[in-house]
């Protein structure tokens, strides 16, 4: 992980550490209202922060997941004819890689489902929400990851970031509704 580039100037391990830094900051923001990073916070997140915080996995599990969520990328890295790097099926490969070095099934399942918040359709919400802790951890992780990667997209005001944010905002609303978190008045 420390010798394979995730993107220009950042290894896969550095990417995982950055995602953890942002995720830790986001959890801190939810607890205290203070943050060191610039955030675009969805309305549903501010409205339901107490329920989300109550339903996260423990911090050590979240940290391990965030840092190692792409641990399989070195094993599925490809380069196309134009020289662009791809990591096909990296969530599955990362899941399998994690299980070769650890018996922590919680982290393994978080890794396996890591990309779902970025790609799932409305009909996938039911399955995603089967485990409330994993759903809450996954939605926060996805939000942290796009903020961690925002500079690659041109910042949080870029069109590319806004497209990724809109996906998480839309699915986050549906997840909150499915988890039956009560609307704050």
Q: What is the pLDDT of residue 36?
A: 94
- How far, in Å, CA of 53 to CA of 64, rounded? 18
Q: What is the pLDDT of residue 153?
A: 77
CA distances from 147 to 37, 125, 179, 185 (A): 9, 22, 24, 29
Q: What is the pLDDT of residue 185?
A: 44
Q: What is the pLDDT of residue 60?
A: 98
Residue 23: name the closest of 139, 169, 102, 107 by CA.
139
Reported for 179-183, long-range contacts at CB under 8 A and 24+ positions apart, including other chains, are 179/51, 179/55, 179/129, 179/132, 179/135, 179/136, 181/48, 181/51, 181/52, 182/51, 183/47
Residue ranges, the chain, pLDDT below 50: 185
- Backbone φ and ψ of 173, nearest 5°: -60, -45
- Backbone φ and ψ of 50, nearest 5°: -65, -45
Q: What is the pLDDT of residue 83?
A: 86
- pLDDT tens digits for 151-160? 887 888 999 9
- How far, in Å, CA of 121 to CA of 74, rounded? 28
- How far, in Å, CA of 145 to CA of 149, rounded? 6
Q: How many C-beta neighbours within 10 Å does residue 184 have?
A: 10
């Amino acid at each position: 992980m420390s010798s394979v580039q995730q993107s220009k100037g950042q290894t896969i391990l550095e990417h995982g550490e950055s995602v953890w830094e942002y995720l830790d900051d986001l959890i801190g923001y939810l607890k205290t209202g203070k943050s060191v990073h610039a955030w675009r916070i969805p309305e549903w997140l501010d409205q339901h922060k107490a329920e989300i915080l109550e339903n996260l996995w423990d911090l050590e599990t979240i940290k391990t997941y965030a840092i190692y969520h792409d641990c399989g990328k070195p094993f599925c890295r490809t380069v196309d004819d134009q020289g662009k790097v791809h990591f096909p099926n990296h969530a599955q490969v990362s899941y399998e890689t994690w299980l070769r070095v650890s018996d922590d099934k919680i982290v393994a399942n978080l890794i396996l489902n890591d990309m779902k918040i970025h790609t799932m359709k409305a009909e996938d919400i039911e399955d995603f929400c089967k485990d409330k802790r994993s759903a809450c951890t996954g939605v926060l992780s996805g939000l942290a990851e796009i903020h961690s990667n925002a500079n690659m997209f041109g910042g949080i005001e870029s069109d590319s970031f806004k497209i990724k944010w809109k996906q998480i905002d839309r699915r986050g609303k549906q997840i909150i509704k499915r988890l039956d978190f009560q609307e704050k008045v």
